[in-house]
Chain A
Amino acid sequence: MSHRAFSYDGQTGPLVRLSVVNFLLNIVTLSLWRFWGKTQVRSYLWGRTRIWNEPLEYVGRGGELFIGFLIALLVVFAPYMAVVFTGQMLVAGGQPAGVFLIVVAQIVIFFLIGVGLYRARRYLMTRTVWRGLRAGQDGSAMAYALLTLGHVVLLGLTLGWSGPWMSVKLDRYLMNNTRFGDTGFECEARSAPLYKRYAALWFSFIPVMVSFAVLTQFVDLPSPDRSGFLPAMVGIYAWVIVSVLLFSGLPLAAYHAAYWRNLAAHTRFDGIGFGFDMGTWRLVRLFFGNMLITIFSLGILRPLASQRTLRAACEHLTMESAPDINRMVASPQAVPRTGEGLVAALDGIGEF
Chain B
Amino acid sequence: MGVPGLYRDGKNARDHQIVVRLLGHGLDIIDHDGQVLAHWPKAQISRVDGTDDLRLACSSHPLARLLLPQPSPVSLWLPQRRSARGLWLGLVAGSAAMVALLAWGLPRLSIVVAHMVPLETERSWGQTFVAQMEDRKVVCADASGADALDRLEKRLATALPAEQRPTRVVVVNDPLVNAIALPGGTIIMFKGLLDQAESADEIAGVLAHEMAHVAQRHPLAAAIRSIGVASLATMMTGDFSALVATLGGMALSGHYSRTDESAADSMAVDILRDADISPLGLATFFDRLNQQGGELPEFLSSHPELESRRQRIVGLPLGAPTSSALDKVDFQNLKNICAQPARKLSTR
Binding site for B on A (CB under 8 A): 21, 23-28, 30-31, 34, 43-44, 47-48, 55, 57, 59, 88-89, 92-93, 129-134, 181, 223-227, 230, 234, 294, 298-300, 302, 325-326, 328-330, 347-350
Q: Are B244 and A299 in contact (CB under 8 A)?
A: yes
Residues of chain A within 8 A (CB-CB) of B176 are: 226
Within 8 A of A (CB), among B101-131: 121, 124-125, 127-128
- Which residues of chain B are near A132, meaning CB under 8 Å? 8-13, 63-65
A225 B133 Cβ-Cβ under 8 A: yes
Pick the contact of B63: A21, A48, A129 (CB < 8 A): A129
Number of B residues near A (Cβ < 8 Å) is: 50
Q: How far is the CB of B254 from chain A (nearest CB, A)?
A: 7
Tell me which residues across on chain B come within 8 A of A44, comparing CB atoms.
50
The 5 closest A-B pairs by CB, nearest first: A47-B50, A31-B235, A299-B241, A132-B8, A27-B95
Closest to B137 in A: A223
Q: Known: A129-B63, A132-B10. Contact between A24 and B95, CB under 8 A?
A: yes
Can you name 27 A-B residue pairings with CB atoms under 8 Å? A23-B237, A26-B237, A27-B98, A28-B98, A30-B235, A31-B235, A31-B236, A34-B238, A47-B48, A55-B50, A59-B63, A92-B127, A129-B63, A131-B8, A131-B15, A132-B65, A224-B132, A298-B241, A299-B239, A299-B241, A300-B238, A325-B13, A328-B13, A330-B63, A347-B234, A348-B242, A350-B239
Residue of B nearest to A48 (CB): B50
Q: Which residues of B contact A21 (CB under 8 A)?
A: 87, 91
Let me know if A134 and B124 touch, CB within 8 A: no
Taking a contact as CB atoms under 8 Å apart, the answer to whether A27 and B236 are in contact is yes
Closest chain A residue to B127, Cβ basis: A92
B51 proximity list for chain A (CB < 8 A): 47, 55
B301-322, CB under 8 A of A: which get 1 and which 0?
0000000000000000000000
Taking CB atoms and an 8 Å cut-off, the chain B residues in 219-265 that contact chain A are: 232, 234-242, 244, 247, 250-251, 254
Known A47-B50, A132-B63, A227-B295: A298·B10 in contact at CB below 8 Å: no
CB <8 Å contact, B98 and A30: yes
Interface SS of chain A? mixed
Residues of A within 8 A of B127 (CB): 92
**Which chain A residue lies CB-closest to B124?**
A92
Q: Are B11 and A329 in contact (CB under 8 A)?
A: yes
* Residue numbers in B under 8 Å from A55 (CB-CB): 50-51
For A226, A230, A294, the residue with the greatest tally of chain B CB atoms inside 10 Å of its CB is A294
Tell me which residues across on chain B come within 8 A of A298, comparing CB atoms.
237, 241, 244
A78 to chain B, nearest CB (A): 15
From B11, B49, B64, B232, give the contact of A30 (CB < 8 A): B232
Q: Which residues of A have CB within 8 Å of B50? A: 43-44, 47-48, 55
B13's contact among A24, A48, A89, A131, by CB below 8 Å, is which? A131
Contact of B128 among A24, A27, A92, A350 (CB under 8 A): A92
